[in-house]
Amino acid sequence: MKRFLIVTVAIFLSACSTIKNKYDAPTYEGHPIVGTWIYSKNGCNEQYEFTATGSRLVHSNQEVVKAIYEVTNVDKERGVYLLKDTVIEDNGKPDCSGSTSDMSGDVVEVLLFIQNFPDRFSFCFNQQLTNCVGPFVKQR
């Protein structure tokens, strides 16, 4: 009976380990979006930091936003990706546009258009990549 219990517990722990790994946060190590980016408009800088673990931190004027993101390929050859962004926390202070809206809980999907030389990206709102905000320039 003791042996049966030990085997049962071992199988259970192994299954739990497999389940945990299936739901771990994605890793974007090596993805071109990972890093710190600056967008400048009207003398105000927005700084976006995308981590390899799927978190995003933004500083825009007095606003600070914490979010998690997922990115998937749309057309990797052209540098187009789908970004799904979920805002976890927003301090509600004025951003570079003067807005004080609290975006906590908002989920947004946009296209990322990433270009090299120099490294930059834009957030785009259509497949033609004509309605975009940017460029955000990667910091070294």
Question: Which residues 6+ apart lie within 8 Å of 35 measured at CB?
Answer: 49, 50, 119, 138, 139
pTM over 0.85: no
Sign of CA dihedral 117, 55, 87, 38: negative
Q: Which fold has domain 27-138?
A: Lipocalin (2.40.128)
Q: What is the DSSP string of 27-55?
A: --TT-TT-EEEEEEETTEEEEEEE-TTSE
Give the C-alpha separation, 118 to 130, whole Å.
Answer: 20
pLDDT in tens, 44-79: 999 999 999 999 999 999 999 999 999 999 998 899
Domain boundaries, the chain: 27-138
Span 66-122, pLDDT tens digits = 999 999 999 988 999 999 999 999 999 999 999 999 999 999 999 999 988 779 999
